[in-house]
């Protein structure tokens, strides 16, 4: 298990310098809000990648969400516009805008078109101090590695939401969505870490644990009320209705869509927050338990393209490149996520 990625400032207060790479879905938004809520985390930039939605749409969503959350000064940048192998149809799991039923006002804030360069620049600017949270396909991270092969050694830590290691996939039979969108990029990233002497292994937070990381309607209602917002029991049953708090309304509308999507695919009416677990795991690694191994990605299989293959018993004879999450303290995750978000919501006026 990895140690908390904390850095010391000149004042002696521990800080976590962070860049988030995202494809702009509902769970990405919750993960971003969690990071903003944590007082020890400095979100230095948010870079956007194609995945749930196109990269420009993702950037507009993230820019507007930062504005709504009172983080207008956080830089946003667009990265790669299509997977390495070329364009593919978007999944639209979270709707055309990636935010489910939630609506955000268009932001006039700036968006930098140099997302890959932003990752590289920040890693060089903060060698051994920058933490990377990758919440979408790994296209931007792969491009950054190709620009700066030293990236694995420059980063303090890298947490990736992606893969399925002991469970079925959610996009292909054996592939998880983020990896399935761009398997070639994922393979570049995994092999870069494998060949980087002295680099901290990637932390891979996949479906094995993220499918447990859900919030029930009562969890969400309690969160809204903890922020001091009135919310009726009747509306809370399905996360419907309106509240007099724009950021709470955004969460309700986005999470209601997530609940409906989970129910349509045979799950409970609850919001599964894959990316939020990865964010919590970066700040509080004890929320997951991991096992070190070597991971590679199948890019040629007719039935298994995009599968993340873990060499649990070392048969390849290759250097371990990852700590794969296999266990999750779900109660700790929920408590930490909702407590942090409640503080942010209490201070945000929209």
Active centre residues (catalytic): 274
Neighbour tally for 320: CB within 10 Å = 17
Q: Do residues 243 and 231 lie in contact, with contact meaning Cβ atoms separated by under 8 Å?
A: yes
Distance CA 27, CA 170 (A): 15
Neighbour tally for 89: CB within 10 Å = 5
Neighbour tally for 202: CB within 10 Å = 29
Distance CA 67, CA 189 (A): 31
Neighbour tally for 284: CB within 10 Å = 15
Token pair for residue 264? 């349509």
HEC readout, the chain: CCCCCCEECCCCCEEEEEEEEECCCHHHHHHHHHHHHCCCEEEEEEEECCCCCCHHHHHHHHHHHHHHCCCCCCCEEECCCCCCCCCCCCCCCCCCCCCCCCCCCCCCCCCECCHHHHHHHHHHHCCCCEEEEECCCCHHHHHHHHHCCCHHHHCCEEEEECCCCCCCCCCCCCCCHHHHHCHHHHHHHHHHHHCCCCCCCEEEECHHHHCCCEECHHHHHHHHHHCCCCCCHHHHCCCCCCCCCHHHHHHHHHHHHHHHHHHHCCCCCCEECHHHHHHHHHHCHHHEEEEEEEEEECCCCCCCCCCEEEECCCCCCCCCCEEEEEEECHHHHHHHHHHHHHHHHHHCCC
């Amino acid at each position: 298990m990895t140690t908390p990625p904390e850095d010391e400032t000149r004042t002696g207060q521990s800080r976590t310098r962070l860049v988030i790479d995202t494809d702009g879905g509902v769970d990405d938004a919750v993960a971003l809000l969690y990071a903003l809520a944590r007082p020890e985390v400095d979100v230095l930039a948010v870079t956007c990648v194609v995945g749930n939605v196109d990269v420009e749409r993702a950037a507009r969503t993230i820019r507007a969400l930062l504005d709504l959350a009172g983080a207008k000064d956080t830089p946003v940048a667009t990265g790669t516009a299509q997977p390495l192998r070329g364009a593919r149809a978007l999944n639209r799991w979270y709707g055309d805008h990636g935010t489910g039923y939630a609506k955000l006002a268009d932001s006039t804030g700036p968006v930098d078109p140099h997302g890959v360069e932003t990752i590289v620049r920040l890693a060089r600017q903060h060698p051994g101090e920058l933490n990377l949270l990758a919440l979408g396909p790994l296209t931007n991270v792969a491009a950054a590695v190709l620009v700066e092969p030293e990236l694995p050694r420059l980063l303090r830590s890298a947490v990736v939401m992606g893969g399925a290691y002991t469970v079925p996939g959610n996009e292909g039979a054996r592939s998880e969505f983020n990896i399935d969108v761009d398997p070639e990029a994922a393979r570049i990233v995994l092999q870069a870490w494998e060949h980087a002497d002295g680099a901290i292994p990637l932390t891979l937070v996949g479906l094995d644990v993220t499918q447990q990381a859900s919030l029930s309607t009562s969890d969400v209602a309690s969160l809204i009320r903890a922020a001091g917002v009135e919310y009726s029991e009747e509306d809370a049953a399905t996360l419907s209705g309106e509240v007099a708090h724009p950021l709470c309304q955004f969460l309700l509308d986005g999470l209601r869509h997530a609940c409906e999507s989970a129910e349509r695919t045979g799950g409970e009416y609850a919001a599964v927050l894959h990316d939020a677990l990865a964010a919590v795991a970066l700040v509080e690694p004890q929320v997951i338990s991991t096992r070190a191994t070597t991971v590679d990605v199948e890019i040629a299989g007719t039935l298994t393209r995009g599968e993340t293959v873990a060499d649990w018993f070392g048969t390849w004879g290759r250097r371990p490149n990852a700590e794969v999450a296999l266990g999750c303290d779900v109660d700790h995750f929920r408590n930490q996520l909702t407590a942090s978000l409640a503080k942010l919501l209490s201070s945000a006026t929209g």
